[in-house]
Structure 1
């Protein structure tokens, strides 16, 4: 992680945008402020941030569509800001690739804690010296532990969010073991002060779409009813 991680803050409301930006600067972050999706895209052409804080409720462009676009073209983690308490917004955002969310008006100390948590997850599995091409087979893909992404058999890269990578790494290190949701939160360093209780399930669903031959009948990451999840490298039922 950089000494002064670069955070892009996207919010169409100038007072809120500047308040968040000033607070992050006070805590050692380098900050770029954007007033919407168009401004964000211009800034992304000039620099690659370590993380993006994105307001979902902007008049010119829906925040969820921006998240979708970012995850197709940019690997930076995204924390959503949402003025509604709707679980639907949170679930949809997580499903399309966001790494976390904070409700608006947000407690700035919580936002900083969540930013640091996501940044830790994004760099937690750096390769040890001398180790190259560490790969683990996950269904239709290979997990590249050094590059933090999935590759298929044609060597095409399939990007992962920081939280998806952390979960896959946890499974890779614990094959054929039943892992509870609580244990996965710990292993993936995904625990927050007020965790969203469906976050693990949503992320597992998202991962299955990427790795399972038939996501509707998962065999690689299996649900163990009443217990948690199990990674079966061979796809054999437990």
Structure 2
């Protein structure tokens, strides 16, 4: 298996070089980017497996860069920032990040989190194979081969890799309550207090995208137990 390619978009040249060296020594391939244009060039010309994105790369509007990347690509994103408040973490996740780290960074922890988001992507592909090539639920059609979700009018809805992975897990266990801890395990999310909040935000994002015409998404919160896809699923 080829080593995954990690794009390191870090504002500080010294840290950018340090992270690249450590990841190379830890079994990854790594390339560095010091500007938004270098990010776009790498994503469009290289098989980038995950992006490590510093919010300071675009100054005070750095968070917007995460949203811009997410709108153009479904590459997993680990957002890094000097801001450690819960609000900043939630905003980063809402803008499409798959994980969030604060500075000063631990290179070892970054490598572990990268393995987690890459494992989540592999789980998504494995679940897609087990679920056959297509699934239908509540007027939605899911094409696992293309990682597409289509509404009843034939219009696609854009999901991030993490959101699609979560949906695939819910489809695989439809009409069954999945405990948060189990959902974190299946999604490849690390076991830490902030991970629980990450799962909640991810479910919230998926619900919002699967709500159409005033009709809520069939993702139920079972208080004290976990989450459940309440709709029946047809597999083809």
Q: TM-score, normalised by structure 2?
A: 0.87
Gaps of 5+ in 2: none
Identify unmatched segments of 5+ residues in structure 1.
none
Is the 1:77–1:99 contact (alpha carbons within 8 Å) kept by the matching residues of 2? yes
Per the alignment, do residues 121 and 103 of structure 1 end up closer, same or farther by CA in structure 2, a change over 3 Å counting?
A: same
Aligned twin of 1:175: 174
* Cα shift at 1:155: 4.1
Give me the whole-angstrom Cα distance separating, in 1, the residues matched to 2:54 and 2:187.
25
2:34 aligns to what?
35
Residue 93 in structure 1 maps to residue 92 in structure 2 = yes
Contact 2:208-2:217 at 8 Å conserved across structures: no
Number of aligned positions between the proteins: 233
Paired residues for 1:15-54 under 5 Å:
15-54=14-53
Larger fraction in helix: 2
- Checking the alignment, whether the CA contact within 8 Å between 2:128 and 2:144 is kept in structure 1 is no
- Aligned positions of 1:64-143 closer than 5 A: 64-126=63-125, 134-139=133-138, 141-143=140-142
State the partner residue of 2:55. 56
Q: 1:192 to 1:131 in 2, by over 3 A?
A: closer
Shift of 1:129: 11
Over the aligned positions, Cα root-mean-square deviation in angstroms equals: 2.7
SS of residue matched to 2:2: coil
Q: Map 1:144-159 to 2 at 5 A.
A: 144-159=143-158
Supply the distance in 1 between the matched residues of 2:195 and 2:128 (Cα, whole angstroms).
36
